[in-house]
Structure 1
């Protein structure tokens, strides 16, 4: 018995925030889209917040608003960031202010699952979208279409395949895109706390002994921790009881938030730099972590992936009528449109991570002098804010 393939304009493989945003953007653009993904799992009943949060830039906020996702998010669980204070390892300090930069806010802090649930709801109302809770296990690209074999025995045909399946991307492996990966030998430890002192919608970051500690504002008296720690130290942190972890964060942040109470169990994820030699192949485009992985010290990884989606959707919307969606000429426009943004953030995040990992008094003096110099230049600070806003 011959299985007749289902035909689509686009097949999106991978269902994190980036993959689901890509599926929504493309189906709202009038395309027939297949999404291979799972719905967002509900939060455990005993957890007040999702441990994984993102600092969404102005460009990410604009994209989600354009797709009518932002309007569906419970904004009572979202916090704006109006100020950011960055502390070096020798009393140097940088202060970034939305007021001074003449912008409404520097970022929005939102839980990963909060955004994903809003995306799920929006996707269920798209008549041109077919949601398949299965995985791809075969990809055959031909001149007229890409054929995808699924684990459930179905077969899809699509003009374009979007690989949004994460850092260990199956799609990327199928197109032979070469990966360069460097393990930072660090683990990101994330957890949420109730803080004694009000955060004032301010994000804080400390560079300390080669590690980076960030406290991000959440609604009410809550803050979210992202501690980029050496893996051995991170494992020690993850073994602590919630009360012990709260005490350790209080000590590491010099008591700045006051007494802390852990409200979300700590979790860890490995940190690495990862780049690929090509974002496209015939009838295939990579987005999100499948295309790049950067250090979280600037909070720009998710924003970078959402800008991939925005550029890809824009390139497709502006394509000539005679071009096929999988046309290599069309896909090269996407790759060219992303190259500089990706390269700039890779260089910036990797450079900062290296700079603050160098031990010794000379290195400490150089980086803290640099921070002081940046802090004294309002135009430079405004440029940095503009770049971070996307």
Structure 2
């Protein structure tokens, strides 16, 4: 059976999409060709057609922290958020530093979501994420890991970092690099600046991120290997990345929607929902990140989906864990930047689909013949309120809870199979 999506809007133009099985056949101007007789027709008038997105940075918590999130609930949130694939970080319990944990994750994904979204595990860079000994990267690669990271714990030992980067590159893996000076601003609760002074809490300066990013891109240049800078939050880090790219270093970088939409003022009133790592920075950092995303200095967007149980966030600022739930909301949040003119639809597809696919060597849908039939339809005008009835993640720890959002995923196909 063929499927014809008629009258959808793609990059501001009306189109018809023809799908056969798990592949794209053609995408043509709407009405340009009649639909084949043996074809299921879906009228998508008024809806935006987008390729399924790829989130290169999520925390699904399983195994070990299923009360926060599990693979089934996290992938459900991903599917309803427009994501066809996610890369899940290794900070589980046990840590994903052995092939058995990798295989467990993949088995759980296949059993809970046989048609997708697809799960791509990220290997721990060091045993137990302790930063003392390199994890068995070849074993993890063979088991199915697509990248390596010590996310959540910066690698202090530069010699160990060098060996990890070298071995990972030999295996075709890229290091997703958590850049944070572990001593500068140790014990921080938010960004160091006027807001932290007013609240009377310890802050972390943006230079703490930039200092380690500078070390790591220089090491990547020396070794002639790639490095990917995770969740960039500081304008100083952007200057480091720009310097490195100008020198031809194989560096790529990501940031998150919350760094484009919020700043440190979101923590006023000791708002634990806005406590993330790295912290929300100053308004000048937010504006610099918006420019960097638009002009391509930042290569991709990620959610850094970090779910927590309600009781964990409903505590004092110093006790509450860092992180927010992002998979359910990412499309709506970034669609607001399209509505503002800060980004275009083409930018969204570059940042959420083509970019991560190219960096991590994953399949993606560019709507060319033979591409995987992974796509969704977005209602650009529907408004909705994030909450227990509208979010699929187990956790709703987000500063956008209860705020009216515009733009919502209505239908999603992965591999030609309709999920909803």
Scaled by the length of structure 2, the TM-score of the pair is: 0.23
Structure showing the higher strand proportion among its residues: 1
Structure number with greater CO (CA < 8 Å, separation at least 6) is 1
